[in-house]
Structure 1
Amino acid sequence: MGKQRITVCLPPVGPDGLKQAIGQAMAPFRYDREDRPHPGWVGEWSHWFVSGAGCLFDVMPGHEDDPRLVRYDDWTDDPDDLPPSRCHGGPRGILDLETPRAAEARRAGGTWRAYHAFAELHPPALPFHHFAERARTMEPGHAREAAVAAFRAQPLIRAIEADPALEERFSSDPVLYFDEDRETYVARHTAAVLPTPALLTLDGRWVEGGGPDYEQMFNACLDGLPGDTVVVRVLYHS
């Protein structure tokens, strides 16, 4: 079994009815439901917990004391001690979706600029796949090692690998990682801030995925929800 998080969208519901509402929304996707749609049907989860650790929501300033905010975590043994500005969910209208996206946009933009400024200090470099493709024409045996050695011999790559902080910031294959304009790079990273691996939509669709299309859909879905829609992070076992 594995654990995964899903963002569940619910019609307006108060704190006392939240878990029941989540259960009703999740029920059609339970493994052992009795009314299986067809003999080969397989569900998505065996049990779930309200839990947003690692993907908490920001709270709109001025709404930190709203009793509708979800501040407990069913998965942890110890009481959840969240700062007032963070929560596991609540009405969409009092969740601050823009602040974390804006912060990531600033971070990503700064990283993009820093990499290109650093890269300009060195001769142009090539991504690893260039050397990997060339190695395919070599005799078997040490082709992979030769490709890695040639890639790492480039001055830019040597300079980055010499500083663990730079390698962590710029990645181990920076030419490929930053091979897009700043606007595209920033948009890609910003879109990845809010999504969980799965989304249960307000109309009852369980959507899983990854990559730009899923992330764009996820953000558009949350942005378009009515303000009283309850959005909550859930950890489920599959």
Structure 2
Amino acid sequence: MGKQRITVCLPPVRPDGLKKAIGQAMAPFYYDREDRPHPDWVGEWSYWFVSGAGCLFDVMPGHEDDPRLVRYDDWTAPEDLPPFRCHGGPRAILDLDTARATVARRAGGTWTAYHTFADRYPPVLPFHHFAERARPLEPEHAREAAVASFRSQPLIQAIEADPFLEARFTSDPALHFDEDLETHVARHVAAVLSTPALLTLDGRWVEGGGPDYEQMFNAYLDGLPGDTMVVRVLYHS
């Protein structure tokens, strides 16, 4: 049980009817709904709030004063959002591309920097390679042996010697950078907008993780009609 966010997609709705519309869309997934589809049915939420803190949307330039933008957060204390940020609004006036473009540039730069640096050393293997190789050992010795073998690699030693490099390239770089540039950038870009769950226009509650879910999430938002309301919601599960 805990709190997480869902992105709720709704037909066009006036600002004064937004919470009612969200409630109607969320209602089929309420824990204590009376008309349960079957005896073993389990709902998704016990309470919810309009809240996009940590996953705010950007606003398309020129639309900062549109009254349909959602600028309040029911979960946190009152906030003074900058004009170009919001918790939701019509799909057409949400700027979904700027944040993705920023992450694409950053991810591409990091991938290039890593491979430029790594080319100075022998090829590196990810930690799970050594963990698998150490599996036949006694459990109390297996991880110790895997860690020692993993850290003996010259590239890992060079990264561990520099906190800046470890922060930028991670402690297990082969796991994160052993893919081509296009795949690496696409994976990071897909993670920018997604929330752990998505409530679609046709009433499907979709949860997931990893690249496939994140790519689906982005494609779904990109394909929505421009007047669709897209709102971040925090719910207790």
The TM-score normalised by the length of structure 1 is: 0.96
Change (3 A) 1:141 1:225: closer
**What residue is the counterpart of 2:148 in the other structure?**
149
CA deviation after TM superposition for structure 1 residue 215, in Å: 1.0
**What residue is the counterpart of 1:201 in the other structure?**
200
Q: State the alpha-carbon separation in 2 of the partners of residues 41 and 146 from structure 1.
A: 46
Q: Amino acid of the residue matched to residue 101 of structure 1?
A: R
Q: State the alpha-carbon separation in 1 of the partners of residues 175 and 159 from structure 2.
A: 14
User: Are 1:184 and 2:193 matched, yes or no?
Assistant: no
Q: Amino acid of the residue matched to residue 9 of structure 2?
A: C
User: Are 1:33 and 2:33 matched, yes or no?
Assistant: yes
Runs of 5+ unmatched residues, structure 1 = none
Question: What's the secondary structure of 2:128's corresponding residue?
Answer: helix
**What residue is the counterpart of 1:49 in the other structure?**
49
Kindly report which structure 2 residues correspond to 1:1-238, keeping only aligned pairs within 5 A, or say none: 1-76=1-76, 78-138=77-137, 141-238=140-237
Aligned-residue Cα RMSD (Å) equals: 1.2
Q: State the alpha-carbon separation in 1 of the partners of residues 66 and 135 from structure 2.
A: 61
Task: Deviation per CA, 1:122-172: give whole Å up to 9, x if none.
Answer: 222222122222223445542321211111111110111112221122111
Change (3 A) 1:139 1:228: closer
Deviates more, 1:132-141 or 1:24-33: 132-141
CA deviation after TM superposition for structure 1 residue 212, in Å: 1.6
Query: Alignment length, in residue pairs?
Result: 237
Question: What's the secondary structure of 1:234's corresponding residue?
Answer: strand
Q: State the alpha-carbon separation in 1 of the partners of residues 132 and 39 from structure 2.
A: 46
Q: Amino acid of the residue matched to residue 141 of structure 2?
A: H
Q: State the alpha-carbon separation in 1 of the partners of residues 133 and 34 from structure 2.
A: 56
Task: Deviation per CA, 1:26-74: give whole Å up to 9, x if none.
Answer: 0011011111111111110010000000100000011111111000000
Question: What's the secondary structure of 1:49's corresponding residue?
Answer: strand
Q: State the alpha-carbon separation in 2 of the partners of residues 134 and 229 from structure 1.
A: 52
CA deviation after TM superposition for structure 1 residue 182, in Å: 0.4
Q: Amino acid of the residue matched to residue 111 of structure 1?
A: T
Q: Amino acid of the residue matched to residue 222 of structure 2?
A: D
Q: Amino acid of the residue matched to residue 228 of structure 2?
A: T
Percent of residue pairs identical: 85
Q: State the alpha-carbon separation in 2 of the partners of residues 115 and 199 from structure 1.
A: 34
Q: Amino acid of the residue matched to residue 116 of structure 1?
A: H
